[in-house]
């Protein structure tokens, strides 16, 4: 398949006029525009040709949750995500005990890397249970515990090393030692925390590189107490941001890109099962969630994840004034790098997976979606 004469988003984070050749599940060539010939040609004149979206923090969609712990629910999520332009995702957990997490991961083991159901599950984001109860957000307090590396390692081994990101509050007892050990196995992220600047700085010094949903479930960023946000600006390789217009004000979305630059921000959805669904009552982590017009909350009004898919978060970021190239990099290249997948996906590069979108330049909606070279 030749994708001819599109505005192709390169691994340098900019658009160039080019042809792209797909063969099997791979991108085999990126060449100057209107130079490639083939039996199948898709005219992409006036369109963007981009990598598929990479969502490294999402709980569920279309009525299903990763923590439902069934292969069927994972397939439902995959189909929905693939239909909107997400081609890779990390199934994200909530705070649960080890027996519950074991069941969730056993189901995930049947779906890691599996093709043919839409977006591909390529790992786990273990969000919880190693959190500060004072910043639990929508996490169930009864399951929150201090960092336990032995528990984490048992679950990591159970998944065959497919936990790609684990979250921890660095001020908790044993957290620094946990970070030191866990960072040898996967990306470690600061999350659901009351850490000071110095406590977060120590976490980064001992192997943490990532920050979960910046500003949410952490101390405020102030001029005398910069906290986690300030430490992340100095030391984090990547930070996550939910740009749904509910979790953060549009001015904050713009400010994050100004503070962290185009290479360090990862847009995420943090979506739960209400994404793609009508208003109504749902659940997250065993708790009731009410979704009204895209806003998901617990009964007490606490925001409970999002009901917005990553491609829509990307479009909203652009609507808030973030340049298309910057927002797109934050939804493809940067998250792939953050979880160690960039060698395989996340950019339009010869040799990588043929996870490719042909996107309308006006609406930023994907018109054609390829996942592993197969048109969806």
Which one, of 161, 167, 184, 168, lies nearest residue 59 by Cα? 167
Please say whether the beta carbons of 337 and 238 come within 8 A: yes
Which residues sit opposite 47 in a β-bridge? 360
Contact 360, 62 (CB under 8 A): no
Please, is 84 exposed, middle or buried when counting C-beta atoms within 10 Å of its C-beta (0-12, 13-18, 19+)? buried
pLDDT higher than threshold 90 for residue 320: yes
Whether 121 maps to a domain, the answer reads yes
Q: Cβ–Cβ contacts within 10 Å for residue 82, how many? A: 23
Q: Is 270 a catalytic residue?
A: yes
Q: Tell whether pTM > 0.95.
A: yes
CA 334 centroid distance within chain: 10
Give the three-class secondary structure for 295.
strand
Which whole number is the average pLDDT over 265-279?
Answer: 96
Tokens of 94: 């909530």
Residue 375's region, left for phi above 0, alpha for psi from -120 to 50, else beta, is beta
Q: Cβ distance 257 to 214 under 8 Å?
A: no
**Residue 187 binned pLDDT confidence (cut-offs 50, 70, 90):** very high
pLDDT of residue 258: 98
- Report the alpha-carbon distance of residue 43 to residue 107 in Å, rounded: 41
Kindly state whether residues 301 and 162 are assigned to the same domain.
yes
Task: Tell me, yes or no, whether 167 and 94 share the same domain.
Answer: yes
Tokens of residue 320, six digits: 């808030």
The answer, yes or no, to whether residue 7 has pLDDT greater than 90, is yes
Q: Are residues 147 and 270 in the same domain?
A: yes
CATH number at residue 7: 2.30.40.10
Q: Are residues 197 and 314 in the same domain?
A: yes
Each residue of 325-341: pLDDT tens digit?
999 999 999 999 999 99
pLDDT digits (tens, 9 = 90+) for 207-262: 999 999 999 999 999 999 999 999 999 999 999 999 999 999 999 999 999 999 99
Q: Are residues 20 and 133 in the same domain?
A: no
In terms of domains, do 17 and 58 share one? no
pLDDT at 285 over 90: no
Residue whose C-alpha is closest to residue 371's, from 91, 46, 53: 53
Would you state the pLDDT for residue 286? Answer: 85
Cβ atoms 18, 25 nearer than 8 A = no
Q: Kindly report the average pLDDT of the chain as a whole number.
A: 97
Neighbours of 250 (CB within 10 A): 15
Strand partners, 26: 23, 353
Range of the domain at 198: 53-342
Residues 80, 201: one domain?
yes
Q: Percentage of residues in the chain with pLDDT exceeding 90?
A: 96
φ, ψ dihedrals at 74, nearest 5°: -65, -40
Residue 348 lies in a domain: no
List pLDDT tens digits, range 51-109: 999 999 999 999 999 999 999 999 999 999 999 999 999 999 999 999 999 999 999 99
Q: What are the backbone dihedrals phi and psi of residue 68, each rounded to the nearest 5 degrees, phi first?
A: -65, -25
pLDDT in tens, 101-155: 999 999 999 999 999 999 999 999 999 999 999 999 989 999 999 999 999 999 9
The catalytic residue among 39, 270, 293, 355 is 270
For residue 303, what are its two tokens? 């925001």
Answer yes or no: is pLDDT of 304 > 90: no
Task: Return the percentage of the chain with pLDDT > 70, whole number.
Answer: 100
CATH number where 127 lies: 3.20.20.140
* pLDDT tens profile 305-319: 899 999 999 999 999
Is position 347 within any domain? no
């Amino acid at each position: 398949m030749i994708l001819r004469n599109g505005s192709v988003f390169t691994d340098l984070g900019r658009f160039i006029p080019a042809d792209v050749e797909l063969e099997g599940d791979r991108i085999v060539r990126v060449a100057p525009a209107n130079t490639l010939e083939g039996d199948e040609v898709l005219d992409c004149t006036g369109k963007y040709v981009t990598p598929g979206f990479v969502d490294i923090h999402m709980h569920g969609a279309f009525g299903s949750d990763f923590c439902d712990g069934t292969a069927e629910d994972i397939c439902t999520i995959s189909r929905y995500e693939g239909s909107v332009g997400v081609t890779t995702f990390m199934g994200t957990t909530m705070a649960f005990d080890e027996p519950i997490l074991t069941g969730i991961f056993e189901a995930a083991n049947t779906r890691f890397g599996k093709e043919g159901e839409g977006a591909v599950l390529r790992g786990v984001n273990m969000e919880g249970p190693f959190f500060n109860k004072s910043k639990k957000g929508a996490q169930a307090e009864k399951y929150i515990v201090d960092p336990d590396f032995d528990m984490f390692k048992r679950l990591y081994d159970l998944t065959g090393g497919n936990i790609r990101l684990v979250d921890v509050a660095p001020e908790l007892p044993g957290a620094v030692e946990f970070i030191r050990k866990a960072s040898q196995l996967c990306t470690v992220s600061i999350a659901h925390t009351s850490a000071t600047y110095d406590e977060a700085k120590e976490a980064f010094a001992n192997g943490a590189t990532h920050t979960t949903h910046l500003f949410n479930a952490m101390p405020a960023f102030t001029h005398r107490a910069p906290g986690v946000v300030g430490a992340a600006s100095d030391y984090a390789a990547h930070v996550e941001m939910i740009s749904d217009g509910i979790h953060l004000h549009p001015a904050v979305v713009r400010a994050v890109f100004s503070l962290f630059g185009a290479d360090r921000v990862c847009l995420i959805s943090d979506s739960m099962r209400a994404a793609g669904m009508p208003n109504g009552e749902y659940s997250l982590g065993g708790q009731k969630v009410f979704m009204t017009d895209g806003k998901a909350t617990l009964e007490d009004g606490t925001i409970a994840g999002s009901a917005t898919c990553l491609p829509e978060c990307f479009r909203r970021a652009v609507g808030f004034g973030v340049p298309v190239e910057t927002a797109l990099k934050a939804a493809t290249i940067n998250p792939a790098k953050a979880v160690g997948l960039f060698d395989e996906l996340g950019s339009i590069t010869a040799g990588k997976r043929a996870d490719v979108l042909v996107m309308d330049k006006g609406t930023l909606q994907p018109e054609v979606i390829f996942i592993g070279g197969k048109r969806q």
